[in-house]
Amino acid sequence: MTDSVQIGDILRNVTLQRRKGDALARAGRDEEAAQAYNLALSLLEGALENIPASIFDSDPGTLTSRSDIAADAAELFGLRGGLLRRLGRLDEALESYRRGATIEYRYDVPSTYNRTNAIKLALITGDRTIEQLIPELERFEDVLSRRLSTDERAADDAWAWADLGDIRLLLGDDVGAGSAYRTFKAKARTDSPKVTLSVLREIADALGAHGDREAARIETSLNSLEQLLG
């Protein structure tokens, strides 16, 4: 795979184009925004081609030798998913997040970006129901709970607590979700609760539109959360 210096250069250029695209999108210049996103995506694809297919090999005897590139690979897939989502290519975005999530789990990567987005986008697109995702939600809740109780750096990350709250809410643990969200609110920037509420609202609306049997429960939980974080 490309070395760390090249990866750093790629990530900086991708981030620059993504931010440019976001600014153009906010200004209503959608065609120019799409051009910036596509340029960023082309930069990423070159790096992704250098990720060895063996990184997805589940042979435990070979994991250590690949752990040094796992974090970079997961980040690249996460960035790719975000760009594809901005471009409205949701099925491709979900596939990218899932590949990144596989790496995050397999190599115990500190970042949970792909795992979080793979779950949320699967619900938003109707690719999975909450019921179908229960095993994955329980697995992810266990990972987050252990990390936040043992990793001081992770425990200072407001968004990690938001992720824990989101997963517990989806699982129906409103008490545990409320505890996580209160910690998130205490650590977050002023505008952060608004951001997490908007994503949860998108999920709740999508569940209703797709006829998910848990839609009414999520709606009730979200209404309570809006009072907590509002």
pLDDT at 215 (0 to 100): 97
Of 89 and 196, more confident = 89
pLDDT at 31 (0 to 100): 96
pLDDT at 3 (0 to 100): 55
Task: Compute the average pLDDT of residues 65-85.
Answer: 87
Task: Compute the average pLDDT of residues 58-67.
Answer: 56
Q: Is the pLDDT of residue 46 over 90?
A: no
Number of neighbouring beta carbons within 10 Å of residue 28: 8
* CA angle (36, 37, 40) in 5-degree steps: 90
pLDDT tens digits for range 79-114: 999 999 999 999 999 999 999 999 999 998 889 999
Q: Is the pLDDT of residue 121 over 70?
A: yes
pLDDT at 213 (0 to 100): 96
> Measuring CA to CA, which residue among 164, 158, 109 is closest to residue 137?
164
| Residues above pLDDT 70, as percent of the chain | 93
> Measuring CA to CA, which residue among 101, 118, 119 is closest to residue 109?
101
pLDDT tens digits for range 4-21: 557 778 889 999 999 999
CA distance 178 to 169: 8
CATH class entry, domain 128-230? mainly alpha
Q: Lowest-confidence range among 14-18, 25-29, 59-63?
A: 59-63
Distances (CA, A) of 77 to 17, 92, 147, 153: 16, 11, 22, 23
Packing angle between helix 158-171 and helix 113-125, nearest 10 degrees?
A: 40
Please give, one letter per residue, the 3-state secondary structure of the chain. Answer: CCCHHHHHHHHHHHHHHHHHHHHHHHCCCHHHHHHHHHHHHHHHHHHHCCCCHHHHCCCHHHHHHHHHHHHHHHHHHHHHHHHHHHCCCHHHHHHHHHHHHHHHHHCCCCCCHHHHHHHHHHHHHCCCCHHHHHHHHHHHHHHHHHHHHHCHHHHCCHHHHHHHHHHHHHHCCHHHHHHHHHHHHHHCCCCHHHHHHHHHHHHHHHHHHHCCCCHHHHHHHHHHHHHHHC
| Predicted TM-score of the model (pTM) | 0.90
38: pLDDT confidence band, cut at 50, 70 and 90?
very high
